[in-house]
Amino acid sequence: MSSSRPIVIFDTTLRDGEQSPGCSMNLSEKLEVAQALVDLGVDVIEAGFPIASPGDFEAVEAIAKTVSGATICGLARCNEKDIDRAADALGHAADARIHVFLATSAIHREFKLKMDKSEIIERAVAGVKRARNRCDNIEFSPEDAARTELDFLCEVVEAAIGAGATTVNIPDTVGYATPAHFGNVIATLKNRVPNIDQAVISVHCHNDLGLAVANSLAAVEAGAGQIECTINGLGERAGNCSLEEVVMALRTRHDVYHADTRINTPRLVPTSRLVSGITGMLVQRNKAIVGRNAFAHEAGIHQDGMLKERSTYEIMRPEDVGFTQTDLVLGKHSGRAALADRAKALGFHLSGEQLDNVFNAFKKLADKKKEVYDGDIAALIEQGAAVVADQWQLQSYEVQASTDGAPRATITLSRGSEEKSATVNEGDGPLDALFHAIEEITGVAIIVRDFRVQSATRGKDAQGESVIEAEYNGQLVRGRGVSTDTVEAAVRAFLNAVNRVAVGQARDPKTRPEAV
Ligand code: KIV
Ligand code: ZN
């Protein structure tokens, strides 16, 4: 039997993932995701960047106070204020880590930091020491490591470990590395840095060339012991290494990597759905592991092979990643217990009030639709996840449109005990008219940049799932809505985006911290 070594899974969905445009989450959503990450079995949760905004500080502090079962990490640039702020936010964590970063590549040194090599080493050492005074568990990242001169990278890493870093993370910040190149970077650090045994080598790969997972795996082969990744591969630009893909690659090809993680893989699909529901960022159908088509066999020759012996065309079982094998059908006579049971099988743990809300929505849906499939239930629960506190709710709408003349739309919304209606007689079509009416009531005007509707399940009466990407003051906001009526799904998605703006959830790019 081959020996196996443990790989630490460091999830940064709540930090790097949340930095992706339109993916910002509110406090209760972040707490829900953090708990889901613990249930998934991640080792370290990067909960946020406390200096970035009061909201980020509050979220890291709340997660540190209430979430146990994983190390809670906060990010800081290599300066005193950032480090102190991160340490303060993490003060109540049972198990905390401060993650300090400083760019090291020539291009960042010259143009962004205007610092020479010796100043970088000095700053890195001072930052790690300051963080170490507040916490025993310190991660140091030489930002843009993949484009840093290897000799200098070795020097910085040695100095950071000497100053007390317990993990040294090697980021491919701009997604420039290739597998052989990146594997060589890790092997060189292992061979050349004299005190490398005193720290865990971590990797943090971005996906600009679609190589984040491949680069992370090459790093593991070369000796890395921690992978930084995100649910659904969320993250800056093209995203980060996808947690579900890298974990299943390690597991499925154990013969190659001889490495294990603590990830409870049947939680992958439910966690992916939760994050997609909260952020409004749909998972592409053919996405490896968690995409709806990831296990769908269409070609007759494949189906024939599968019926004879699954392993002819299947390298993983759908149930191993959390797809339920049966697509049990519920109907209008199904009760709360049956719904709760189905939700549980799909990986959702519904609390009393949450279960009440989903059950009410389920009853309405079952009245319209004879058969309610797993996908319908997941969509209803995810829609619940997209609900924003203090939001406007849709009460009713009416719309008339034709090829000649302007559309006419009337909409009624409520917020708490307040109810308001608006009628508009303008717009490029029925949806545009409905959106104008929503803007008139809420006073929030957003510009729709992208709009999609897809079916949540099969059949003619399938629910439509709509996602809207809109712009508000230069910021991207997403909204998501589900209904058997595609117009209503679009209205709900638009309203969800407007609600996010109304509660101040769209992140203002001007609040981003400066480089140093
Ligand atoms: O991509 C990057 O370099 C980062 C660092 C903060 C680790 O996200
Ligand atoms: Zn990153």
What is the pLDDT, as a whole number, of residue 423? 97
CA distance 278 to 192: 44
β-strands 138-143, 96-103 pairing: parallel
Strand residue runs (E) in 94-199: 96-103, 138-143, 167-172
Give the span between the Cα atoms of 228 and 13, in whole angstroms: 10
Low-confidence ranges of the chain (pLDDT < 50): 1
pLDDT value at position 332? 84
> Which residue, chain included where needed, has tokens 């009713």?
396
**Binding site membership of 104 for ligand 1 (Cβ less than 6 Å):** no
Residues 6+ apart with CB under 8 A from 164: 128, 129, 131, 132, 138
For ligand 2, the distance from its centroid to the CA atom of residue 173, given in whole angstroms, is: 5
| CA 101 to ligand 1: nearest atom | 6
Distances (CA, A) of 397 to 71, 315, 412: 47, 48, 6
Burial 486-511 (b: 16+ CB within 10 A, else e): bbbbbbbbbbbbbbbbbeebbbeeee
Torsion sign, CA atoms 364, 366, 370, 375:
positive
- Please provide residue 410's backbone torsions phi and psi, each rounded to the nearest 5 degrees: -125, 135
Q: Which of 14, 139, 143, 236 to mutate to test the pocket of ligand 1 (most atoms within 8 A of CB)?
A: 143
In the DSSP assignment, the letter for residue 372 is B
173 Cβ closer than 6 Å to some ligand 1 atom: yes
Give me Rg for the CA atoms of the chain. Answer: 24
Q: Which residue, judged by its Cα, is nearest atom 4 of ligand 1? A: 173
Place of tokens 């407007």: 498
First to last CA, the chain: 49
**How far, in Å, from the CA of 492 to the mean position of ligand 2?**
32
The amino acid present at 193, given as its one-letter code, is V
3-state SS class at 365:
helix
CB 350 within 8 Å of CB 340:
yes
Strand 71-77 to strand 44-48: parallel, antiparallel, or no bridges (unpaired)? parallel
Rounded distance between C-alpha atoms, residue 420 and residue 392, angstroms: 10
Pocket test for ligand 1, best of 141, 182, 205, 215 (most atoms within 8 A of CB): 141
In terms of Cα–Cα distance, which of 500, 197, 461, 192 is closest to 329?
461
Sign of the torsion formed by the C-alpha atoms of 271, 272, 275 and 276: negative
DSSP secondary structure, 399-430, as one string:
EE--SSS--EEEEEEEETTEEEEEEE--SSSH
* Closest to 174 in 3D by CA, of 151, 148, 137, 200: 148
Token representation of residue 340: 């709760």
Is the CB of 202 within 6 Å of ligand 1?
no
Angle between helices 352-368 and 374-385 (to 10 degrees): 130
Any ligand 1 atom below 6 A from CB of 480: no
Residue 240 Cα: closest atom of ligand 1:
1
